[in-house]
Amino acid sequence: MILPLLIAACTILDPNPEATIGRDGDAPPESGESLYLRNCAGCHGLGGTPSDTSVKTLRGWPGDFAKFDSTLTIGPSTMPEFPELDSSARRKIFDHIRKFPPL
Ligand code: HEC
């Protein structure tokens, strides 16, 4: 039976599975790309182009960091709020979406 071994291995590799990377704490820093893929890509698309036209494209998005920051705090329309993303995580995601080629 390999399953108990896998569970044991996961417990050893991730002794604190409740800790979420990107939040305040001791977790290692997560890249902007990884933060984007985990939190945003489901709606905004892998490369910033959403499949749902009611979601804004992030390619060539004209806003500055202050606007970006308030968007994540407010959660406009059907977009959720992201209180768990601190300013360092937000800055990394902002830098990541700036790499998307504009439309
Ligand atoms: C559940 C779907 C969903 C998720 C997840 C999501 N968004 Fe959005 N986002 C939206 C929708 C819908 C809009 C358009 C809101 C509007 O036009 O009022 C939007 C708009 C935006 C805008 C443009 C705001 C403006 O006024 O121009 C930015 C920037 C943005 N999202 C960034 C992000 C980032 C970064 C993440 C991840 C941390 C994220 N979104 C996660 C649905 C989502």
pLDDT tens-digit series, residues 44-94 = 999 999 999 999 999 999 999 999 999 999 999 999 999 999 999 999 999
CA of 47: how far to CAs of 24, 34, 41, 82, in Å? 27, 12, 8, 20
- Report d(CA 72, CA 90) in Å as an integer: 8
- Report d(CA 51, CA 81) in Å as an integer: 21
Is the Cβ atom of 93 under 6 angstroms away from ligand 1? yes
Averaged pLDDT of the chain: 85
What the block records as the tokens of 82 is 């992201």
The runs of H, that is alpha helices, within 1-103 are 3-13, 32-39, 41-44, 65-74, 87-97
Q: Which CATH architecture does the domain made up of 29-103 adopt?
A: Orthogonal Bundle (1.10)
**34 Cα: distance to centroid of ligand 1 (angstroms):** 17
- Best residue among 23, 44, 86 to mutate for probing ligand 1's pocket (most ligand atoms within 8 Å of CB) is 44
pTM score, whole prediction: 0.81
Dihedral over alpha carbons 89, 94, 99, 103 (to 10 degrees): 140
**6 Cα: distance to centroid of ligand 1 (angstroms):** 37
- Name the residue at shortest CA distance from atom 25 of ligand 1: 71
Which of 25, 45, 38, 16 shows the shortest CA–CA distance to 88?
A: 25
